[in-house]
Structure 1
Amino acid sequence: MSNYILEMNNISKEFTGVKALTDVNFKVEKGEIHCLIGENGAGKSTLMKVLSGVYPYGTYKGDIVFEDDIQAFHKISDSVKAGIAIIYQELALFPDLTVYENIFAGNEIKRGSVVDWNKTIAEAKKMLQRVGLDVNPEVLIKDLGVGKQQLVEIAKALSKHVKLLILDEPTAALNENDSENLLNLLRELKKQGITCIMISHKLKEVISIADKATVLRDGRTICTLDGAKGEITENTIIRNMVGREIEDIYPKRANKSFGSKILEIKNWTAYDPELGRHVVKDVNLHVKKGEIVGIAGLMGSGRTELARSIFGNPKSYKLQGELLVNGSPQSFKHPKDAIKEGIAYVTEDRKGDGLFLIQDIKSNISAANLKGISQNGVINDNKEIRVASDYKSSLNVKAPSIEQIVGNLSGGNQQKVSIGKWLYVGPQLLILDEPTRGIDVGAKFEIYTIMNKLIADGMSIIMISSELGEILGMSDRIYVMAEGAIKGELPIEEANQENIMQFATQ
């Protein structure tokens, strides 16, 4: 018998004439943690969808060998029966059902034709214990945080006697503590004999956990790196992912000079009537012209709520305090009021709130400033084309044309379109909420380069990020939030991971 639990041999997959995968070879040994890495659009998710039966047998070329047998998965349930489970970044849980109902959804424990709920709850407790999640199995999914929901997904996979567990960007929406807990769980599952494939853009995670790492680029296998041989290093991964060296992922600005205060808020408080509590508490903050101000903090610390309360308060919080733009007091009733004063906000949820995924690049770029391409209420199609083409070029959006549907772009290119949409309103202050979430290292470098160019052109940026490296690498000054309040302010010269986390956990 082979030592490989999985062999994917010469896998090729096309979509209407476009080759997504070309002769990909991917082998995973039993009981290892194998990371699959590459830029957005490299083919990682496509390869896993071929493996799991989302793209059924007959729609691709090549062979899938699982536990020494050639497989022909015609649907997802076929791969599940074989012992393969995949957990996507967007969790597939039912928010209004209990934890135990979710764990055994589609895999109900029955006595005859009737679901045995007592045994279901008892077995759910065992699965929760196995993943180290101490919650009542009768609690609703919607009442759990994202980190705990992720563990429920893994418990669900374990209930199906999984042999190969695939996780697609499992820590993308998690804070550092939850991310570390998840990685520790994967190490424990490895001890139990479960093989894991993890797709991740977070290179530090890959380096810390991977036994082996396979790099894809442009739909092809580039190499497989062996951790035991010391091959899994940041420089080696980046060089193979992007086909070039990136000496410093956080590009430096040659000249730093800050002007007067663009934005200032004083004793700023936001009460959320829906939640029945304050989400922002007595915040004092300012941003100067030509400055990147980082806002750090754990998930739930109030960073996004602060950004929304500044950007015209779309969530209808009850606000108190002062907001000044260029020294002039303002009271924004709607995001359009903030836009008029030169403030733009790139949301953390580009797919849900930031973009129209079923529309093309052209329509998305102009969406926030239709007046800019209109005359007497009529859209000037030629001007819209010129504007969209200019932003596609200046932001290096990789797409065949501005007619490309945004939902078909990679995460990095979607983010560039989202930024372009808000640059077209001509802001003096750009709020970037998790600007590189879920995008690869090459695209991150491009986003950082865009940020530096905007600053050089006289803009100011507030950057909210859960990645401490990003906060430290790009900010000129850092505010740290916890429980809706500013717990600390640090000039970049005094900031490090330790003191940021110290403030964030107060």
Structure 2
Amino acid sequence: MTAILEMQGITKTFPGVRALSDVNLSVREGEIHAICGENGAGKSTLMKVLSGVYPHGSYEGEILYDGKPARFRDIRDSEHAGIVIIHQELALVPLLSVAENLFLGNEVASGGVINWPLAYQKTEALLRKVGLTEAPTTKVEKLGVGKQQLVEIAKALAKNVRLLILDEPTAALQENDSQKLLDLMLELKDQGVTQIIISHKLNEIRRVADRVTVIRDGSTVSTLDRSEITEDRIIRDMVGRDMAHRYPDRTPRIGEVLMEVRNWSVMHPDQPRQVIRDVSMTVRKGEIVGIAGLMGSGRTEFAMSLFGRSYGRDIRGEVTLAGARPDLSTVSRAIDAGLAYVTEDRKVLGLILDEPILRNISLANLEGIAKGAVLSRGREQQVAERYRKAMNIRTPSVFQRVVNLSGGNQQKVVLSKWLFTDPKVLILDEPTRGIDVGAKFEIYNIMNDLAGQGHGVVMISSEMPELLGMCDRIYVMNEGRIAGELTRDQASQERIMALILQDGMKGEAA
């Protein structure tokens, strides 16, 4: 099988950082080729070099496409050659229709006038190819994230794509949407579309990839054929060591009840329906408590409503924290009471991306860097340096903007921000979403350290193995209710799913 793409000796340097060092990549025509590596390994940078985001001349090395040198000046050049990249952050315009998004910058026009009937006809045909039945006039904001991802692929097909690059395509998708996307990738492969996928989800890579290239610290480590692809091998090449134990060992030292929630109920902020129904739970000192449930079960809504009533209305129920009845009526009062919440959406709700690391870390506890009523920039830098070392945030300086960090390092900045508030109870909502196995292990260690110091930790996760590997107890939520509670010894994926299904049947009967 001939190579459609050869990247030879690619080196890319930013001020103070060498992101890529002599990277080599060969992609065969018609294959699905996976690229794996830890956050910050250089995967996305390599794809930006390929797609012209970083133009020819800004890097060293050579790109051969169809056996000829490719010197793309910008992303239009690469798209004209049939190379289309779909970034992790979708590039759709929410207020425009599906058809308008599909042909934005690539309009179906003659004589300078858009031919809307032809555009709609082509849109319907493209949507059918990706398994969507929505009308071309549907606004993108009305679609879920999974369908928006499919619209992005339809948009790529509209550009006569030959080489499709998908950067973490399932990171924000629930299981059903992820499977549909993987099925579509296999269908596109059958149609002759070559694909490159960047993903941390090793089970998905094993399902679709023909070959895998592993990058570590900006350099190519290995390229594996399908027969060689195993999770253990990929992990070893990614992190440079065996990870026989995916979850760090911990001897629980569980104490008295630290936080108790009783009969917590929440109405939807805009609709006349109850989202959370009489939820009761406890968290003890030194305990890691998990909350399991399917998408839409109310896990995030429960956490946000608890944290300063930042979600919902007509909130009722009682909370006891460290033996007192705290005032949780606002976010600032919840923080003062000893509650912290790490959101599942770090880029929108957890960080100010254009601000430097030190500004983000101090944001939730300005009093901690103040001298009297004046903020101390020297104190702010000291605090940031302390957390940079303690959390192993990979950055040349705490003055670096957070937008330039990898996903794993961004997550460590969010954690640092909330640890600086010295919380009694820390709620972690999908704390390892979109980060690699090495960074996950570091975050697991941070959770264990917090529990070892007597803090309470609540972990919301869609990854059941993660909950089973880390938690002392697990509450199972379904349709805004607690469907059951399992100890570490009782918990298994089968029992969690059984509780969800049993609760669903009860709800239907009621």
The answer to whether TM tops 0.5 is yes
Q: Corresponding residue for 2:390?
A: 394
CA separation of 1:84/1:503 partners in 2, compared to 1, >3 Å: closer, same or farther? farther
User: In 2, distance between residues paired with 1:134 and 1:298?
Assistant: 25
Q: Corresponding residue for 2:69?
A: 70
Q: Corresponding residue for 2:240?
A: 243
Q: Corresponding residue for 1:126?
A: 125
Deviation sequence 1:135-194 (CA, Å, 0-9, x none) = 333322111111111111111111211111110001110112211111111111111111
Supply the AA of the counterpart residue of 1:180.
Answer: Q
Supply the AA of the counterpart residue of 1:243.
Answer: G
User: Contact conserved, 2:17 with 2:396, CA < 8 A, in 1?
Assistant: no
Q: Corresponding residue for 2:483?
A: 487
Bigger drift between 111-120 and 176-185 goes to 111-120
Q: Corresponding residue for 1:15?
A: 14
User: In 2, distance between residues paired with 1:317 and 1:347?
Assistant: 19
Give 5+ residue unaligned stretches, structure 2.
Answer: 505-510
Q: Corresponding residue for 1:169?
A: 168
Supply the AA of the counterpart residue of 1:152.
Answer: V
User: Contact conserved, 2:275 with 2:301, CA < 8 A, in 1?
Assistant: yes
Q: Corresponding residue for 1:372?
A: 368
Q: How far apart are 1:490 and its partner, in Å?
A: 2.4
Q: Corresponding residue for 2:37?
A: 38
User: In 2, distance between residues paired with 1:18 and 1:380?
Assistant: 29
User: In 2, distance between residues paired with 1:426 and 1:108?
Assistant: 54
Aligned partner (choices 462, 467, 474) of residue 470 of structure 2: 474
Tell me the number of residue pairs that the alignment of Structure 1 and Structure 2 aligns: 502
CA separation of 1:375/1:139 partners in 2, compared to 1, >3 Å: closer, same or farther? same
Give 5+ residue unaligned stretches, structure 1.
Answer: none
Aligned partner (choices 429, 433, 436) of residue 429 of structure 2: 433
Bigger drift between 335-344 and 474-483 goes to 474-483
Q: How far apart are 1:28 and its partner, in Å?
A: 0.5
Where does 1:205-354 land on structure 2 (aligned, <5 Å)? 205-227=204-226, 230-253=227-250, 255-315=251-311, 317-354=313-350
User: In 2, distance between residues paired with 1:353 and 1:344?
Assistant: 13
User: In 2, distance between residues paired with 1:204 and 1:31?
Assistant: 21
Deviation sequence 1:300-349 (CA, Å, 0-9, x none) = 33221111111111245331222222353344210111112211111112
Bigger drift between 200-209 and 144-153 goes to 200-209
Supply the AA of the counterpart residue of 2:351.
Answer: L
Q: Corresponding residue for 2:23?
A: 24
Q: Corresponding residue for 2:180?
A: 181
User: Contact conserved, 1:296 with 1:504, CA < 8 A, in 2?
Assistant: no
Stretches (4+) displaced over 6 A: none
Bigger drift between 65-74 and 493-502 goes to 493-502
Deviation sequence 1:471-503 (CA, Å, 0-9, x none) = 222122222333333333222323222333444
User: Contact conserved, 2:266 with 2:312, CA < 8 A, in 1?
Assistant: no
* Partner SS state of residue 97, structure 1: coil
User: In 1, distance between residues paired with 2:295 and 2:396?
Assistant: 37
User: Contact conserved, 1:312 with 1:334, CA < 8 A, in 2?
Assistant: yes
Note the aligned Cα RMSD (angstroms). 1.8
CA separation of 1:464/1:50 partners in 2, compared to 1, >3 Å: closer, same or farther? same
* Partner SS state of residue 300, structure 1: coil
Bigger drift between 40-49 and 483-492 goes to 483-492
User: In 2, distance between residues paired with 1:476 and 1:199?
Assistant: 33
Where does 1:44-55 land on structure 2 (aligned, <5 Å)? 44-55=43-54
Q: How far apart are 1:453 and its partner, in Å?
A: 1.0
User: In 1, distance between residues paired with 2:153 and 2:140?
Assistant: 14
User: Contact conserved, 2:236 with 2:242, CA < 8 A, in 1?
Assistant: yes
* Partner SS state of residue 454, structure 2: coil
The TM-score with structure 2 as length reference comes to 0.94
Aligned partner (choices 433, 442, 445) of residue 438 of structure 2: 442
Deviation sequence 1:374-420 (CA, Å, 0-9, x none) = 23212234433332222222222222233333222222122112111
Deviation sequence 1:193-242 (CA, Å, 0-9, x none) = 11110000111211222110001111111110111xx2111111111111
Supply the AA of the counterpart residue of 1:478.
Answer: I
User: In 1, distance between residues paired with 2:137 and 2:230?
Assistant: 43
User: In 1, distance between residues paired with 2:236 and 2:367?
Assistant: 44
* Partner SS state of residue 11, structure 2: strand
The TM-score with structure 1 as length reference comes to 0.95
User: Contact conserved, 1:323 with 1:331, CA < 8 A, in 2?
Assistant: no
User: In 1, distance between residues paired with 2:10 and 2:337?
Assistant: 53
User: In 1, distance between residues paired with 2:500 and 2:56?
Assistant: 49
CA separation of 1:504/1:58 partners in 2, compared to 1, >3 Å: closer, same or farther? farther
Q: How far apart are 1:283 and its partner, in Å?
A: 1.7
* Partner SS state of residue 220, structure 2: strand
User: How much identity, in percent, do the aligned residues show?
Assistant: 55
User: In 1, distance between residues paired with 2:58 and 2:199?
Assistant: 26
Q: Corresponding residue for 2:193?
A: 194
User: Contact conserved, 1:6 with 1:67, CA < 8 A, in 2?
Assistant: yes
Supply the AA of the counterpart residue of 1:233.
Answer: T
